[in-house]
Structure 1
Amino acid sequence: MTNPASAPDGAAVSRMPRDPEWWRGAVIYQIYPRSYQDSDGDGIGDLKGIVRRLPHIASLGVDAIWISPFFTSPMKDFGYDVSDYCDVDPMFGTLADFDAVVETAHSLGIRVMIDLVLSHTSEAHPWFVESRLSRDNPKSDWYVWADAKPDGTPPNNWLSIFGGSAWQWDGRRMQYYLHNFLTSQPDLNFHNPDVQEALLDVERFWLKRGVDGFRLDTINFYFADKMLRDNPALPPERRNDSIAPGVNPYNWQEHLYSKNQAENLDFLRRFRAELEPYGAAAVGEVGDAQRGLEIMAEYTSGGDKVQMCYPFEMLQPQRLTAAAAADTFWRLSHSAPDAWPCWAFSNHDVERHPTRWGLTDAAARVYTTMLMCLRGSVCLYQGEELGLPEAEVAFEDLQDPYGIEFWPEYKGRDGCRTPIAWQDDAPLGGFSEGKPWLPVSPQHLPLSVAAQEADPDAMLHHYRRAIALRHAHPALARGEHDGVHSRGDVLHFTRSWEGETVFCAFNLGVAEADVPLPQGAWAPIGTDLGAVTKAENGLVRLGPWQCCLALKRPGD
């Protein structure tokens, strides 16, 4: 394992202009490297492929990229099972290739965030290999180990997100170890100070290498209850399948003790302290179906923990309605007014939102415009800018262990992870010259980057215009709002920043609707996004899936 405490040789030294607040209102583009661009013909995307495609990302106008794990790994969960936090898996390239990603991204004005999976490692990680040898070796307490009950059953009733008990028996130590995910992903023991320090060393290694921040996987899973108390049952009316599919009994518990522990706050303060000298930022994934907004508020408020978190309110299976969005912001404002969310509609773990929500092209466009106007930062998932639907993947082509376990009621995550189609007239969409690790979707070829570049009305150009609107008006990127309100199917709010005020209204329904335009002299903006501002008797009439965007500057 590379020594994380030492300064890396040949590390990228180029840095973006220092701006400690760069993350506030930023648009972050997620790259799932296996499926972005293959440079060597092995059918798996890699770091050199990312370098090749960075100009496309820059053309979108985004502020940063988030790269899903590329670390050394047995790949049982496709990189989210890390066996060396400080090196690159050979299938993705080398540390020098990563340095080239950072240097190229910075030259294009793009910051680089990487995905840190700190709650657990691979069973192949040297730390776990040593830990499981005995109960008294130097790393024996680096993972969550516990004795069986007198009848030999697991220590408590905790369940794994991937199905079954969260405990796996180990015959060498004659104990169970905790795994909130796959059995090959043992959970680290954050109650051990040495574990915390080792993980902070990992953070320091990548900061020295030039990264601008981190996406923190399962940020609320770091600590487990020291007493290993049973989770209580969750009444059926409170069950929510936003974190685990409905067929998974994980949804039948209230996870009071297996995650969401108060001790996590102090560790996040230590993590934030390491970010500050570099002007770096972190966004955390809050995986909780009942308390997601509350936890996000805890983790991002006060200016001493992580800068941003995203809960699953906008990653839900159900379409985001105006009423649900207004309720989300109301609850957030009452939990912690200074908390800073990072909103996403799609990512590598959920069905792509045009399919998940059954969106027409017009509906997808108004949701995109709305996303760029909400208070908070934004994450876009690769291919989202192309309006890609979920790909159909045959059972025999499945790679995701989650989908294989729960097929056919739940098809897993492969449908949102298929390779990007860059060209509609090239074999395999221009992704690779070899057989891809997942099939390139025939549905995606007509939506390729090349095909959309040639069509000025394509979704790709709508995303560019929506991102440009956000950057053109600081009120949309960093401003406060007067509350988020729903009026039937219309969501509306006003954003303000340093004298600039923007009124936003979105019809998220299939019928015409009227919305009051606040008093004052308003100038139309966003007309290239289909926005309207014409008012009669103080009302703007919005057609189905139409928006109103209006600007008022000081003195207007």
Structure 2
Amino acid sequence: MKMESLQKQLGGDANWWRGAVIYQVYPRSFQDSTGDGIGDLAGITQRLDHIASLGVDAVWISPFFTSPMKDYGYDVSDYCDVDPMFGTLADFDALIARAHELNLRVMIDLVLSHTSDQHAWFGESRADRDNDKANWYVWADPKPDGTPPNNWLSIFGGPAWQWDSRRQQYYLHNFLTSQPDLNFHEPQVQEALLDVARFWLARGVDGFRLDTINFYVHDDQLRDNPALPVERRNASIAPMVNPYNHQEHIYSKNRPENIDFLRKLRAEMAPFGAAAVGEVGDALRGLEIMGQYTAGDDLMQMCYAFELLSGTQPDAARIRDVMEHVADVAADGWACWAFSNHDVQRHVSRWNLSDAGARCFITLLMCLRGSACIYQGEELGLSEAEIDFDDLQDPYGIEFWPEFKGRDGCRTPMVWTADNGNGGFSDGKPWLPVAAEHLSRAANRQEADPQALIHHYRAAIALRKTHPALAKGTLEDMRVEGSVLRFTRRFEGQEMHCAFNLSDTAQTIENETLAAWQANVTEGANG
């Protein structure tokens, strides 16, 4: 089925993505339409009115492709079909059509760095060393003593190499052993992945979220990564209990050859008016890589790093430092900021925010230069759910329990109604338990309360959309006065002065016009 993107249907601003607000949906946990306890595409379609009511520009849907679900869809076994648990291609077409009726663009999550070991490509590649796809994955001989070819580590723990008895070689996996890495040094691999993008663009998608965009290309000489000094280690990409933090990953990712592939992908997207946001997973150089990948008009439109997804609540000085760093290393690029997503603890728990704090930070997000992502349930103020070990699904959490409890706590089902234990998510037993403390924050209850957080989210998003300076303008004169962050946004003659008190103590500053609506200097981030 061929369907036009919303950009091609409506024309208009080719730079719609610049300053856009994107709502992320984790399909397993959004809405179940069949009663099997797992969310699906038809369920998303049923709830698109809720997303549109927030005033966002686009919806990003995490993977729904055919998969054995070892990493819950981020291990793809068929890029061009829908996993039966999520529905069918016809269900996806219906979702696109309804979203476009609501003037919502649809961005889908492409996982191009690796596949599932159940993908037909890998089945052929591992059969022997001489088949047509023998070079489609990263294969390497062992060292003379039989150990892996180098010291690269997997984010999910242990070596990044798995022995395969068929080929008598190791294959690379930056994540689970069941997620072998594709070999981007092979031109046929790049062409096959561009075919995947073409398939979904022709089906009407408006863009892509690109998983682990900086992992695509590896060092073809397989050189060892250097050790990382203790004082430079941090937990922004992997928990500190994970030895992955002991290396500087200059050879297993972040390779300069990646730029050529990104240019090819952008060229495929251009005729459709599609846009992409790349996930840059790097604890040391995330913003620099973001700048490289979004510079000019022939690479990716947006990328996000993990600076504002960190565990420590950012104070005024931290926000200033991040924005100044972006100005230094990504002046020609474009950031996409988020406080929560499907991989990190929800930020109201991570930063111990009250509702007043949540209001302050969403308004700040809407006033920062860049685009913005909101994660499902964030508009309800959902906290991180506590999951018993017996209920865990995430292999990451199971591996590093109890020091790291994994990602299930931010992936529990949405709560639509407060009148049953499943929160209106499903008529069956949900794949993860609905957190009891979430029920009081159900969408229907908040809709009926004019003071509820969801209405502030709508107002903050409307503020951004009403004032082009906030969506697309420059960011100037950023300064810190105690706990107060101040800056100015300018665009085509419009000037907006913003001030935020990022503490729980009232502050006083000189009186001036403030764009920080209901998050001004008398309302702190925790109070």
| Alpha-carbon spacing, 1:63–1:142, altered in 2? closer, same or farther (3 Å) | same
How far apart are 1:515 and its partner, in Å? 3.0
How is 1:147-226 mapped onto 2 (pairs within 5 angstroms)? 147-226=141-220
Q: Which residue of 2 aligns with 1:324?
A: 318
SS of residue paired to 1:163: coil
The residue identity in structure 2 corresponding to 1:75 is M
How far apart are 1:427 and its partner, in Å? 4.1
Q: Take 1:368 and 1:91, find their aligned partners in 2: how far apart are those partners? A: 33
Q: Which residue of 2 aligns with 1:6?
A: none
Q: Take 1:335 and 1:208, find their aligned partners in 2: how far apart are those partners? A: 35
Q: Take 2:519 and 2:362, find their aligned partners in 1: how far apart are those partners? A: 13
How far apart are 1:510 and its partner, in Å? 1.9
Q: Which residue of 1 aligns with 2:75?
A: 81
The residue identity in structure 2 corresponding to 1:203 is A
Residue number among 57, 66, 69 corresponding to 1:72 in the alignment: 66
How far apart are 1:321 and its partner, in Å? 1.3
The answer to whether structure 1 residue 256 and structure 2 residue 250 are counterparts is yes
Q: Take 2:152 and 2:62, find their aligned partners in 1: how far apart are those partners? A: 27
Q: Take 1:311 and 1:196, find their aligned partners in 2: how far apart are those partners? A: 24
How far apart are 1:484 and its partner, in Å? 2.7
SS of residue paired to 1:226: coil
Q: Take 1:489 and 1:96, find their aligned partners in 2: how far apart are those partners? A: 52
Q: Take 1:51 and 1:24, find their aligned partners in 2: how far apart are those partners? A: 25
The residue identity in structure 1 corresponding to 2:48 is L
SS of residue paired to 2:437: coil
SS of residue paired to 2:87: coil
Q: Which residue of 1 aligns with 2:89?
A: 95
The residue identity in structure 2 corresponding to 1:301 is A
8 Å CA contact retained: 1:265, 1:305: yes
Aligned length: 524
Q: Which residue of 2 aligns with 1:474?
A: 468
8 Å CA contact retained: 2:223, 2:251: yes
The one-character-per-residue Cα deviations of 1:333-391 (angstroms, maximum 9, x if unpaired) are: 11131210000000000000000111122111101110000000000000000000000
Q: Take 1:14 and 1:332, find their aligned partners in 2: how far apart are those partners? A: 31
Q: Take 1:157 and 1:132, find their aligned partners in 2: how far apart are those partners? A: 22
The answer to whether structure 1 residue 542 and structure 2 residue 522 are counterparts is yes
How far apart are 1:11 and its partner, in Å? 3.6
SS of residue paired to 1:12: coil
Q: Which residue of 1 aligns with 2:21?
A: 27
| Alpha-carbon spacing, 1:88–1:483, altered in 2? closer, same or farther (3 Å) | farther
How is 1:155-554 mapped onto 2 (pairs within 5 angstroms)? 155-517=149-511, 522=513, 529-532=517-520, 542-545=522-525
Residue number among 42, 46, 51 corresponding to 2:40 in the alignment: 46
SS of residue paired to 2:509: strand
Q: Take 1:110 and 1:315, find their aligned partners in 2: how far apart are those partners? A: 25
Q: Take 2:57 and 2:458, find their aligned partners in 1: how far apart are those partners? A: 12
Q: Take 1:411 and 1:77, find their aligned partners in 2: how far apart are those partners? A: 15
The one-character-per-residue Cα deviations of 1:454-504 (angstroms, maximum 9, x if unpaired) are: 111111111011001001101000111114322221111100111111000
| Alpha-carbon spacing, 1:525–1:410, altered in 2? closer, same or farther (3 Å) | closer
The residue identity in structure 1 corresponding to 2:314 is L
Q: Take 2:32 and 2:288, find their aligned partners in 1: how far apart are those partners? A: 40
The residue identity in structure 1 corresponding to 2:454 is L
8 Å CA contact retained: 2:66, 2:81: yes
The residue identity in structure 1 corresponding to 2:522 is L
What TM-score does the superposition give when structure 1 sets the normalisation length? 0.93
The two structures, once aligned, show a CA RMSD in angstroms of 1.3
How far apart are 1:24 and its partner, in Å? 0.3
5+ residue gaps, structure 1: 1-9, 533-540, 548-556
8 Å CA contact retained: 1:505, 1:515: no
8 Å CA contact retained: 1:30, 1:66: yes
How far apart are 1:12 and its partner, in Å? 3.3
8 Å CA contact retained: 2:213, 2:280: yes
Residue number among 15, 18, 22 corresponding to 2:6 in the alignment: 15
8 Å CA contact retained: 1:242, 1:316: yes
SS of residue paired to 2:430: coil
Q: Take 1:78 and 1:510, find their aligned partners in 2: how far apart are those partners? A: 39
Q: Take 1:483 and 1:251, find their aligned partners in 2: how far apart are those partners? A: 35
Q: Take 1:456 and 1:247, find their aligned partners in 2: how far apart are those partners? A: 44
5+ residue gaps, structure 2: none
8 Å CA contact retained: 2:499, 2:515: no
| Alpha-carbon spacing, 1:14–1:215, altered in 2? closer, same or farther (3 Å) | closer
Which runs of structure 1 show a deviation greater than 4 angstroms over 4 or more consecutive aligned residues?
A: none
Q: Take 2:128 and 2:478, find their aligned partners in 1: how far apart are those partners? A: 56
Q: Which residue of 2 aligns with 1:7?
A: none
The residue identity in structure 2 corresponding to 1:15 is L
The residue identity in structure 2 corresponding to 1:166 is A
